[in-house]
Amino acid sequence: MRLLITGATGKVGQAFLPAFLSDPRFAVWEVVALCNNRSLAPQPRVSVVKGSVADPEVVVRALDGVTHVLHLAAVKETPDQAIDVALKGLYLLLDRFCRAASRRQFLLLSGDCVVGHIFHGYREPITEQAPRHAYRGVYALTKVLEETMLEQFGIQEGLDWTTLRAPWIMEKDDFRYALALGEDQFGGPSWESLLEEDELTKIKQEHAVPALRDGTGAYLKRNFIHVDDLVAAVLAALDNPAAFKQLFNVAMDRPVDYGDVASFLEATGEHIRHDIPTPFHSNWLDNSKARMVLGWQPEIDLGGLVERAWKYARAPDDPRVIWYPG
């Protein structure tokens, strides 16, 4: 077997590759990493193809002898790259892969932006049957089109595909910086868009925990997943016939409640909460299908997410990298 990985040097790719190479299920598999801006250090069973996924000649070389594709490469709010990477690149991969006699499975990593996460309200858990309902922006639009394109190749070409739809992916100290009040904040919403300057200055001085409230006044509930749990889901779906032609939500068993986060951190005696009203919606991404069909179970709950983020200590050779704006 031969696995092509796009985005192997990104957040998920860097966590996935060592887990894959150490998994006995895949002990005899070879890996091809399609890399553009960054590259990988030499290692056994891994070869690298350099170039853009939007280059037809590069795609042909990368897919030589490939049986499985794991498509992790993505762009965020960068319109000048969206068509080339997200749409043209995916089309080239699918078109060429579907003409390969060796093809077995194409696995796509998607996101809950497809269903609008905190920007759209739902009266019940969000399952895989929920209609695609993206919020405004290039990234959400491209993910809707990626999911649709992949499904259509399944219909038109008989391709065995799998889509894993993940919420906000956390690693290392990401969650801590998602709550940071300064320029080092990771992701959104930006506090400047929710608070007046004097109020933001005050809560910075108090080292407060921003406890977001949704449009109803309750504490906001937003879906997250730790990268280790996401990697486990990918491994569970890879080369698994039960996953063929299937879409799975992969998220923590319960969404993160910002009120609970504030309580966790207040209990340390080092923080106080500061409630922030927002127009956002609380939602619950239902992972029941992945748990039942794949036998997958996320291990990191809210307590684990907080503990890992606050206890993580960076070594000098481990600079903080923002893979995308969030």
CATH number of 2-169+223-249, picked from 3.30.2290.10, 3.40.50.720, 3.90.79.10, 3.40.630.30: 3.40.50.720
Residue pLDDT, tens place only, 5-60: 999 999 999 999 999 999 999 999 999 999 987 888 889 999 999 999 999 999 99
Least confident interval from 183-192, 200-209, 231-240, 314-323: 314-323
* Helices marked H in the chain: 11-22, 56-62, 79-81, 89-98, 138-157, 174-178, 197-205, 227-237, 258-266, 288-293, 302-311
Q: Phi, psi at residue 256, to the nearest 5°? A: -75, 125
pLDDT for 265 beyond 80: yes
Residue 326 has what pLDDT? Answer: 41
**pTM confidence score:** 0.95
Residue pLDDT, tens place only, 222-239: 999 999 999 999 999 999
Query: At 162, which amino acid appears?
Result: T
For 90, half-sphere exposure in the C-beta direction (CA atoms, 13 angstrom radius) is 30
CB-neighbour burial class of residue 205 (10 A; exposed 0-12, middle 13-18, buried 19+): exposed
Nearest to 69 by CA among 238, 230, 232: 238
| Dist CA 26 CA 264 (whole Å) | 39
Residue pLDDT, tens place only, 131-182: 999 999 888 999 999 999 999 999 999 999 999 999 999 999 999 999 998 8
| Dist CA 143 CA 108 (whole Å) | 10
Residue whose token pair is 């039960």 = 242
Residue 325 has what pLDDT? Answer: 45
As a 3-state breakdown, the chain gives helix, strand, coil percent values, each rounded to 5, of 40, 20, 45
Nearest to 166 by CA among 84, 241, 226, 237: 226
- In the chain, domain spans: 2-169+223-249, 172-221+255-283+300-311
Peptide bond before residue 298 is cis, with ω within 30 degrees of 0: no
pLDDT tier at 62 (50, 70, 90 boundaries)? very high
Residue 78 has what pLDDT? Answer: 65
pLDDT for 82 beyond 80: no
Rg (CA), the chain: 20
| Dist CA 117 CA 207 (whole Å) | 28
